[in-house]
Amino acid sequence: MRFDVPKPRSIQRLPTTRSGYPVPVITPRGDMSETFTLAELPDTGLTVVCPCQDTGRPHKLGAMCHDLQRRTMRQHRCGVCGKHLDPRTGLVFIRSTPQTWDFIEPPLHPRCMAYSVQVCPMLARHAEQAEVLIARSMQLRERRVMAFPDGTRGVSQYFPLDAPQARYAGALDYLVATPVKPDIYPCPAWLEHHAPPLT
């Protein structure tokens, strides 16, 4: 972890791991393969639910709690600090391939992205080749797991958000965001010329 990157105020309030990494708000606790279950919910039908926040286990960095991911997306909150996103400053996504237009990771504030792409090992590893997308709005859809043909990996399909027919099609696991008409920058150029100061 780089300790020379200043923490924005919104990230300073997050809990940290023993090694000092800030814990994003969508981070589960413990091994998710042991915690998530399927439940029939009134609003969404068959849904993946994750009671991971109720355990005393350490945070699992790099994973996403299904419940926290969906709540963060629906409430238009930053996937790192959890505070409300302002469309005027932009909803920021990062991608490693130009073909990617659908995102399971919630968008971030510009300042949270500028910090994360320098500190998060997963993002920093690909930052030189990555692109930053900044949009003023996003379209949300439901990703529903339809089947597990090999017993381990599910086949998923996307549905409009809250579509009545979707609840009968499969289990809702995550929401998917598609940025609308984003501005696109190479990540290094965005960091150098467009990203807001961290403090």
The pair phi, psi for residue 111, each rounded to 5°, is -70, -40
The pLDDT of residue 152: 58
Average pLDDT over residues 103-131: 93
Q: pLDDT band at residue 37, thresholds of 50, 70 and 90?
A: confident
Q: How far is CA 155 from the centre of its chain?
A: 20
**Residue 146 confidence (pLDDT):** 80
Q: Tens of pLDDT along 77-87?
A: 999 999 999 99
Q: Which of 52, 101, 103 is nearest to 79 (CA)?
A: 103
pLDDT, tens digit, for every residue of 102-114?
A: 999 999 999 999 9
Residue ranges covered by each domain of the chain: 37-194
Place of tokens 């690909």: 126
pLDDT score, position 168: 87
Alpha-carbon separation of residue 173 from 14, 66, 108, 144, 185 (angstroms): 25, 6, 20, 6, 30
Q: Cα separation of 64 and 174, whole Å?
A: 9
> pLDDT tens-digit profile of 146-181?
866 555 567 889 999 999 989 888 899 999 999 999
Report pLDDT for 30. Answer: 72
Average pLDDT of the chain is 89
In this structure, are strands 155-160 and 37-41 parallel, antiparallel, or unpaired? unpaired
Alpha carbon distances (Å) from 48 to 1, 32, 106: 32, 11, 18
For the question of whether the overall pTM of this predicted structure is more than 0.85, the answer is yes
